[in-house]
Every structure is written in C-alpha cells, then in structure tokens.
Chains A and B, each alone.
Chain A
Amino acid sequence: MAVDIQVEHLNAWYGTNHTLMDINLHIPASQATALIGPSGCGKSTFVRCINRMHETNPIARVTGTVRIGDLDIYADVSPVEVRRRIGMVFQRPNPFPTMSIYDNVASGLRLNGFRNRRVLDEVVERSLKHAALWEEVKNDLKKKSGASLSGGQQQRLCIARALAVDPEVLLMDEPASALDPVSTAKIEDLIFQLKSQYTIVIVTHNMQQAARVAERTGFFLNGKLIELDSTHKIFTNPSDKRTEDYITGRFG
C-alpha cells in the first residue's frame, strides 16, 4: 500500500560539502513526483537519503526527519528494513548477471528468508506482470540470465525485483536515461500504471519525461528545493524565476 513521505529539515553532507540544505517537502501517496535540476543540484542525494543509502558513504552525514507513512526512518528502524519498504531503481539496469530471471526477482524475498516455492513462484509472476515483462520472459524464467535481456528488459527486471519485496515507495534515479525511446516509453507506461499502488519518486534530466509521468515536480538547485508544485504549473508557469530559467534552458 502506498504511503506519504514527509521530509522535514533534511540536511546532507559529503565531508564538509553541504549538499542538501534544509529540505522540507511532502510527497503524496499513489502519485509520481519528479525531481529535476542540473547535475550536482542534490536531487540524487535526496533520494539516497530517503532510503538511507547516503549514509553508506563513510564521509556522508544526514540530519533531519524523513517519515514514510508513520515510520521515522532515521529513528525507528534499521536501514535494511527501510530498504525493504522502499524499492530503488537506478540509471543503469543492474540485474545480478549470473542469476536467472527468476532468481533475480526472487532474490530480495530469499534475503528476507522466504523459501516457500509456491509463494516465490506467485510473487515472481506477479512482480514480472506488474513490471510489464511477464509475457516476454515467462518461457525463459530459469533458462536465461538477467544479463541476457535487452537494456529495456533488464530495467523492467530491476523494477520487478524491487516490486517483489512489496515496497510502499519506489525511488527511480533516471530510470530511462540509458534506454532507447521504445524502452523509455515502456518504462514510462509502467510508471503510469504503478503509481496508483506505490508512491513513486523519479529523478530525471528529461523534463518531457517528468511532464509525462509525474503529478508533481520539484526543482532542486545548489542543494536547495527551489519549488515543488503540480507538474502542470511547473512546466507552464512556474512561480520562481530560477525554475523558469532552468526549464527554458536559460541556464543549467
């Protein structure tokens, strides 16, 4: 079930570099929220803070509050539990190359101790169907490795793998930037279908993509959230001059 994300006074550092400055925002459930901004603006750091990946870097530090539903992820739980509730999809598809398609999708569940074959079969099938990949791979689930699929299929496999552990939130860091237009369209269609069931946050450099898939869009610049509003408002008549200058290509 999708849940809201509430972020309050979030700050992040890499060493002495203050990369996120007092971020406050609300991400509604069952919607896609896109984050845009020039390279180095802090948008990827922001999503890494939401699933506690930022702190895996020894010189990184985070302060502030992130609530996923009622759960304060920096106070109440372990990072492992957070990452079970929050799926992450990266720019480059990263299936486990030696594992079969089936094992890729089942890997998260097995890590969490699931061994029941019937349950695993059901979850693998459901996840691949949700990721719109089932019809293309159902006859090769155990015959082919994840690495044997095309780039677009690999990315959908990674989405299936993320969905298999039944997360509430799906974070996507430029999920289609390494894909061709047809695969990109499939990923976007998928995001459109998934957002009724998950809270989706998507980082993208492709503003048309943000406009197509997200209800709300936030603009980051120099570690600050400059503006967060309905996607329609951001792309037709943003409130802040800096947002307008960025999306019209006057800087960035």
Chain B
Amino acid sequence: MTRLRFQRSLDDLKEKLLVMAGMAEQAIQRAVEAYRVRDLSICDLVDHGEFAINRLEREIDQMALDLLAMEQPMAIDLRFILAVIKINADIERVGDSAQSISDRVRELQAFPVAEIPVDIPKMASLAEAMVRKALQAFIEADASIAASVLSMDDSVDDMNDAAYFSVLNEMKTQPHIAPQALNALVISRILERVADHATNIAEDVIFWVRGADVRHHMMKDEQAQDETEPKKA
C-alpha cells in the first residue's frame, strides 16, 4: 500500500470525529438527565462540554480542508472526507441541542415541578439510540446499519407530534402550568431534531460507503441496486 501518511491522516480524522461524537452523545444524555432531576450542576457540565465540541468542530474542518487541498483525494477517500465534513456539522448541532435543553432546564427552575404528559426520557433514549447506531455505522463503514437508522426516524417524529397535542390539551385544561408544558414541547422538538441529525449522519455514511445519495428519499430503486453491488475484484 502506498500513501501511508495520507491513510494515517484519514484514520486520525475519523478518530477525532468519534471523540467529538462521544462528547455530543454524552452532552445529550446529561441534558436530559438534568431535565429529569432538575439539577443545574449537570447543566454546568453540558455548558462546559459545548466549548470542547465547538473547538473540535473547527479542528476537524481544518484537518479535512488540509487533506482536500494537500492530498487531492479521490473516490472513496474523497467521499469519506466530504462525509466527515457533513457529519462534523451534524454532531456539532447535536451538541448545540444539548445546550438548548440545558437552557430550558435553567428556565424551568423558576417554576414548580409539574406533571407534563410528554415522555422526554423515552424520546431521548430513542434519539440517542439513533445517534449511537449512526456512529456505529460510521465506525464499521456499514451502510446496512446506517440504513436501519433511517427507518427509526418516524417513531421520534410521531412522538413529537403526539407531544404537541398533549401540550395543547394541557395548556387548555391547566393554563397555570403553561411555561412547564411549553418547555417540554420545546425539548421534544429539540430531540426530534437530534434524531434528524442522526438520520443525516446515517445518510452520509451510506454516501461514503456506497457512493449513493439517499437524502430526501431520492434514491431510485434501480440506482440503489447498482450502487449496492460490490465492486468487481
């Protein structure tokens, strides 16, 4: 094998992205935990982690830019670097989502605890599972794992839709807990976006591995068949 240094740089890029992804995953878990137990010290951890995620985002973009400019990658290497640039942005947004949940938790401190019929922990667990699976697909370069993430997105969307009607109803019947209900709806919406980021990551993994653009359900059946055929040896 030639271009060993380049291949090592690609490995470094992948490793750095996974470090950042781990931090973003942890940030979401912490933010939801902070919501569940109303603990502002956990919010502080989320805030602190956000700086590190943002720093890593810039470093990864710079590494990817350098590799594009200096190594002029082709084919699967080119697709990998493009996928990394896009996944990088999605992971950073997952970090931002954790920060937004943390902000909501701080706001909620001004109000008494209220029972809102929106199962945030369950929704979070589903969104986190999607992120984890998309990253597993990225680690293993496995398009079929990535494809399984796409089919999970509808469940999170359904839960977010249900949250809207639950909160609407709650605000009608118990207007005095409107701030708590609205915050729950906002967090539900944020988690739905996290699931969307996981979907984007999965689509980018499929693009990297198969060279197929599956965004917005645009892949035609015959194209899918072509692209999934293994390369001739």
Contacts and interface: CB of A to CB of B under 8 A. Distances in A.
Contacts of B1: 250-251
Given A251-B1, A251-B2, A241 B77 contact: no
Contacts of A251: 1-2
Given A241-B231, A241-B232, A241-B233, A236 B3 contact: no
A244 B210 CA distance: 13
A240 interface: yes
Nearest to A247: B74
Contacts of B6: 249
A207 interface: yes
B30 interface: no
Given A241-B232, A248-B73, A249-B74, 14 more contacts: A208-B72, A236-B75, A236-B78, A236-B211, A237-B75, A237-B227, A239-B231, A239-B232, A241-B233, A243-B75, A244-B75, A248-B3, A248-B77, A250-B2
B104 interface: no
B71 to A, nearest CB: 8
A236 B77 contact: no
Contacts of A243: 75
Nearest to A250: B1
B76 interface: yes
B79 interface: yes
Contacts, number: 47
Nearest to A207: B74
Contacts of A240: 231-232
Interface in A210-252: 235-241, 243-244, 247-252
A92 B6 CA distance: 31
17 contacts: A236-B78, A237-B76, A237-B211, A237-B227, A238-B75, A239-B232, A240-B232, A241-B231, A244-B75, A244-B76, A248-B73, A248-B74, A248-B75, A248-B76, A249-B2, A249-B3, A249-B6
Contacts of B73: 248
A243 B232 CA distance: 10
B152 to A, nearest CB: 27
Nearest to B3: A249
Interface in A141-185: none
Interface string B72-111: 1111111100000000000000000000000000000000
A208 B74 CA distance: 9
A239 B1 CA distance: 20
Closest 8 CB pairs of A and B: A237-B211, A249-B3, A247-B74, A241-B231, A248-B77, A244-B75, A240-B232, A248-B74
A219 to B, nearest CB: 11
A215 B227 CA distance: 21
Contact of A247 (B75, B227, B232, B233): B75
A238 B75 CA distance: 7
A235 B75 contact: yes
Contacts of A252: 2
B177 to A, nearest CB: 54
Contacts of B78: 235-236
A28 to B, nearest CB: 22
B88 to A, nearest CB: 20
Query: Which residue of B75, B77, B227 has the most chain A CB atoms within 10 A of its CB atom?
Result: B75
A224 to B, nearest CB: 13
Nearest to B226: A239
A252 B3 CA distance: 10
Contacts of A249: 2-3, 6, 74
A243 B56 CA distance: 34
Nearest to A251: B2
Interface string B194-233: 0000000000000000010000000000000001000111
Nearest to B230: A241
A241 B74 CA distance: 13
Interface in B1-29: 1-3, 6
A89 B20 CA distance: 52
Given A235-B75, A236-B75, A244 B231 contact: yes
B6 to A, nearest CB: 7
Nearest to A240: B232
Contacts of B211: 236-237
Contacts of A241: 231-233
